[in-house]
Amino acid sequence: MSSPGTPKYGANERALDGASATKNTVVEDDFDAPVINVTAAAAVSAPASGNSSASEPEVVKEYMTFDSMDLPLDLLRGIYGYGFEKPSEIQRKVIVPIKNRRDTLAQAHSGTGKTGGFLIGILANMDKSVNEVQAGVLAPTRELADQIYTVAKGLTQHMGIRVHLAVGGNHVDADLAKLRRGSSEIPQLIIATPGRFYDLLNRKAIHPSTFKALILDEADQLLDAKFKEQIYCILSNPFKWTENTQIGLFSATMIPAIAATAETLLARNPLKILRDAEEVSLDGIAQYYLLVDRPEQKLDALCDLSDCLTFTQCTIFVNTQKDAENLCDAMTGRGFDVSYIHGTMDAKDRKRIMDSFREGKIRVLIATDLIGRGIDVQQISLVINFQLPVQHSNYIHRIGRSGRYGRKGASINIIDKREMRQQEEIEAFYGRKVAVLPMDLNIYN
């Protein structure tokens, strides 16, 4: 195990393996098209390598109250003011180690408060009198970044810490103006999407040397396929990240290959909280399926369900942007009041739709996996998979949109006979049976 301050990459530098090349590539900072990369669910809880003892996972101390965590008073006031009374399980485990500046790799169920967990941890070390960017959080989508920003604003309400949201879709000049050298009000916490963050690094508007902490939310997604190269570029040698910057990697899912990559980033007395795939199957959410003979019968089934089921808000997942638009047209044509969201929509439209959904003005939202991750709308009680996700790990992200923070939730897969095998694979992946939809439609346990 390397201790804080121990050089890991030559001159105390951090870098992902193979991350030394400077590539001038900026990928779009959104996730939408499903990535085909199905990996067996085995052994995610096993420490993959390296810094910690492989055979003896650490027993993590839990702090049962925020008061017992020795947090700055103005942060504590923000926590209670934001409405958090007691820490959730993940918060009980990660806040103090993060505050103690340990690198962290943590897998936490969707909707269990991981945003608060990493934010409170890093905020505990921030100093309002230091006029520089002290910490950053990277998230794969603008929507998620926006949501983290909202929580950060809430938690810092008494701290006087300046929080800034830097995402694609907004003009970069606005970021540059805020970060301008010589400004007396430089943001101290920056929440960003990877593309914009990389751009700001390249323009030397932000400097790794000022960062005490860098958090990657939905880390498995940021370290996989579409974003991997972007993250490599961000962490590549020219930018000179050192072990002075604490790293936090958070996700609801973590497949072994990604966990192994993630581990190469950890250096400061790392804390690892990983779970088995079965453990992340969201006990609070009742999972059902409805089988139809042929694909063209799915729409009828969906419309019948929409008529008969009780729910506060509902998300219907499909796999492609075209499918989202087509399904929205078809349901609207049958008199249903539905909207859709996907990754190639204009940033303003996406924000408008997400805001309306959060405010409850939209009750049924058809979505691609763009909002399958991390997005927290507490009133979603029902998730319908009109198409099963191509990547198994997205199933948990999708159904995790319901049943937020202990509320009741249900998910229904509408499948035709050809998709039965795919569903069985998902069941095997999570070690859970998905039940047949009951005739009485009494779906909330």
User: What minimum distance in Å lies between the beta carbon of 246 and ligand AMP?
Assistant: 19
User: What minimum distance in Å lies between the beta carbon of 99 and ligand AMP?
Assistant: 16
User: What minimum distance in Å lies between the beta carbon of 87 and ligand AMP?
Assistant: 5
DSSP-assigned beta bridge partners for residue 367: 317, 341
Q: Which amino acid is at 329?
A: D
User: What minimum distance in Å lies between the beta carbon of 405 and ligand AMP?
Assistant: 4
User: What minimum distance in Å lies between the beta carbon of 153 and ligand AMP?
Assistant: 12
Q: Which is nearer to ligand AMP, 108 or 133 (CB)?
A: 108
Alpha carbons within 13 A on the beta-carbon side of 5 = 0
Q: Which is nearer to ligand AMP, 241 or 250 (CB)?
A: 250
Cα angle 206, 208, 212 (rounded to 5 degrees) comes to: 110
Classify the phi-psi angles of 83: left when phi > 0, otherwise alpha if psi is within -120 to 50, otherwise beta. Answer: left
User: What minimum distance in Å lies between the beta carbon of 86 and ligand AMP?
Assistant: 6
Residue closest to 245 by CA, chosen among 168, 160, 144, 137? 137
What is the DSSP secondary-structure string of 197-240? HHHHHHTTSS-GGG-SEEEEETHHHHTSHHHHHHHHHHHSGGG-
Q: Which is nearer to ligand AMP, 118 or 227 (CB)?
A: 118
User: What minimum distance in Å lies between the beta carbon of 147 and ligand AMP?
Assistant: 7
Q: Which two tokens stand for residue 438?
A: 């009951």
Q: Please, what sign has the CA dihedral across residues 171, 174, 175, 181?
A: positive
Q: Which is nearer to ligand AMP, 86 or 294 (CB)?
A: 86
DSSP-assigned beta bridge partners for residue 365: 315, 339
Q: Which is nearer to ligand AMP, 16 or 69 (CB)?
A: 69
Q: Which is nearer to ligand AMP, 102 or 404 (CB)?
A: 404
Q: Which two tokens stand for residue 61?
A: 């101390």
User: What minimum distance in Å lies between the beta carbon of 154 and ligand AMP?
Assistant: 8
Q: Which is nearer to ligand AMP, 328 or 382 (CB)?
A: 382
Distance CA 124, CA 136 (A): 14
Q: Which is nearer to ligand AMP, 148 or 314 (CB)?
A: 148
Q: Which amino acid is at 27?
A: V
> Interface with ligand AMP by CB under 6 A: which residues?
84, 86-88, 91, 111-116, 376, 378, 404-405
Classify the phi-psi angles of 401: left when phi > 0, otherwise alpha if psi is within -120 to 50, otherwise beta. Answer: alpha
User: What minimum distance in Å lies between the beta carbon of 352 and ligand AMP?
Assistant: 21
User: What minimum distance in Å lies between the beta carbon of 24 and ligand AMP?
Assistant: 34
- Residue partners of 317: CB distance under 8 A and separation at least 6: 366, 367, 368, 369, 372, 383, 384, 385, 386, 387, 389, 398
- Residue partners of 402: CB distance under 8 A and separation at least 6: 285, 315, 380, 381, 382, 383, 409, 410, 411
Q: Which is nearer to ligand AMP, 86 or 171 (CB)?
A: 86
Which run of H or E residues covers position 287?
Answer: strand 285-292
Q: Which is nearer to ligand AMP, 145 or 301 (CB)?
A: 145
In the bound complex, which residue of the shown chain has the CB atom lying closest to ligand AMP? 113
